[in-house]
A and B are shown apart, each in its own frame.
Chain A
């Protein structure tokens, strides 16, 4: 067995899922599993309970709401990528999804899962931040809306409470010029650095513990990216400057 021991739960309604998350100590939500299962296989994550929401009914819709696009927790990245309504209202999201891993991964991975996972080098959190979207979190205590600026707290860390389920992400209709550009060592890898432009807004990823909003005129100001085998901090700052220039030249 690769994953460490856990107790497996497969609720069929949102209420059931929330009550499990509310009553079990150390429970983790399993949706697409494309980030969580590798962590389990490496035994980097050892949750006592896994709440698999894949059998929850009516949680896979992509629909128009409040002048934008709502993507529910079980909508697969590939479905959102292929969605005509997403392409029409928020083409930035369609473009961003093509940069997320590979199609085979996107067949299973979810948009909401990427947001809840909050990998600082991933595309979707930065998109949500750049466009000023929000997520909806549900628990037995009720429902609350969390704006993108309030969602991302640290590396792999969000302001979602342990008993909350991220049921929906919302992206406003995009009318401005937009771009998402990133640089990675191999196609489909996490970015060394990336930029998202939505109108005059700029969000960066891969250069801080969370995605961050930045000034398009001076995008690298105040940044202290980390260095690793693949890129030095200076190289990441250079990427931010060059990619921002390209995103705003268009």
Chain B
């Protein structure tokens, strides 16, 4: 499977979840693991460009596919991805635990709707839980990301 553009061998154990494979085997600890049953959204990554829950997929299932994690959006030294930049500018995080998942979900949302309506933004981030911000700054960050992506 290709992770952030680099080819990696498949895990040997079929029981390995994609989330655990990314974190424990590949050291990509930017993907956070909250609930491990698909409710919190922290572990969201892109599979062939579409956001999915990495805790609800076996790593062996990603064989032959392309996975993008938060580390793959902007490499060290590169300017931040527009969505990351927008979260930074709008203070769309406090503790930051949920942030990688939100960023990946919003990247997916903007790939689907280049200019999402307020309702589309709400629906796009509804699958991610944030216990700090109250979501207002995250909504603003999505609007800002739309501007930055122009």
From A1, A3, A54, A98, B61 is in contact (CB under 8 Å) with: A54
Known contacts A104-B127, A187-B126: does B60 contact A37 (CB below 8 Å)? no
Question: What are 9 A-to-B residue pairs whose CB atoms are below 8 Å?
Answer: A1-B16, A38-B36, A41-B17, A41-B55, A104-B41, A104-B44, A105-B56, A108-B47, A108-B56
**Considering only CB atoms, which chain B residue lies closest to A107 in the complex?**
B50
CB neighbours of B109 from chain A (8 A): 103
CB neighbours of A1 from chain B (8 A): 13, 15-16, 20
B127 in contact with A105 (CB, 8 Å): yes
How long is the Cα–Cα vector from A101 to B38 in the complex, in angstroms? 10
Q: Is B37 an interface residue (CB 8 A)?
A: yes
Known contacts A41-B36, A104-B51: does B127 contact A52 (CB below 8 Å)? no
Q: Which residues of B pack against A, CB within 8 Å?
A: 13-17, 20, 36-38, 41, 44, 47, 50-53, 55-58, 60-61, 105, 108-109, 112, 122-124, 126-127
Other than the known A37-B58, A38-B38, what 19 A-B pairs have Cβ atoms closer than 8 Å? Answer: A1-B13, A2-B15, A8-B58, A8-B60, A33-B56, A38-B36, A41-B37, A42-B37, A50-B14, A98-B123, A103-B51, A103-B123, A103-B124, A104-B44, A104-B105, A107-B52, A108-B52, A108-B53, A188-B126
CB neighbours of B17 from chain A (8 A): 2-3, 37, 41
Chain B nearest Cβ from A32, distance in angstroms: 8
Chain B nearest Cβ from A118, distance in angstroms: 18
CB neighbours of A33 from chain B (8 A): 56-58, 61
B15 in contact with A102 (CB, 8 Å): no
How long is the Cα–Cα vector from A104 to B37 in the complex, in angstroms? 13
CB neighbours of A52 from chain B (8 A): 58, 61
Chain B nearest Cβ from A221, distance in angstroms: 35
Which residues of chain A from 1 to 20 have a CB within 8 Å of any chain B CB? 1-8, 10
How long is the Cα–Cα vector from A42 to B56 in the complex, in angstroms? 12
A-B interface, 10 closest residue pairs, ranked by CB to CB distance from nearest: A102-B127, A8-B14, A38-B37, A37-B56, A1-B15, A107-B50, A104-B51, A187-B126, A108-B52, A104-B127
CB neighbours of B13 from chain A (8 A): 1
How long is the Cα–Cα vector from A126 to B50 in the complex, in angstroms? 28
Give the total of A residues in contact with B, Cβ under 8 Å.
30
Known contacts A2-B17, A3-B15: does B53 contact A188 (CB below 8 Å)? no
Q: Is A34 an interface residue (CB 8 A)?
A: yes
Known contacts A37-B56, A103-B124, A107-B52: does B14 contact A6 (CB below 8 Å)? yes
Known contacts A1-B13, A41-B37: does B51 contact A107 (CB below 8 Å)? yes
Chain B nearest Cβ from A77, distance in angstroms: 12
CB neighbours of B57 from chain A (8 A): 33, 37, 108
CB neighbours of A2 from chain B (8 A): 15, 17, 20, 36
How long is the Cα–Cα vector from A104 to B38 in the complex, in angstroms? 10
Q: Is A115 an interface residue (CB 8 A)?
A: no
How long is the Cα–Cα vector from A3 to B122 in the complex, in angstroms? 32
Q: Is A127 an interface residue (CB 8 A)?
A: no
Q: Is A78 an interface residue (CB 8 A)?
A: yes
Chain B nearest Cβ from A50, distance in angstroms: 8
B52 in contact with A104 (CB, 8 Å): yes
From B15, B56, B108, A34 is in contact (CB under 8 Å) with: B56
Chain B nearest Cβ from A164, distance in angstroms: 22
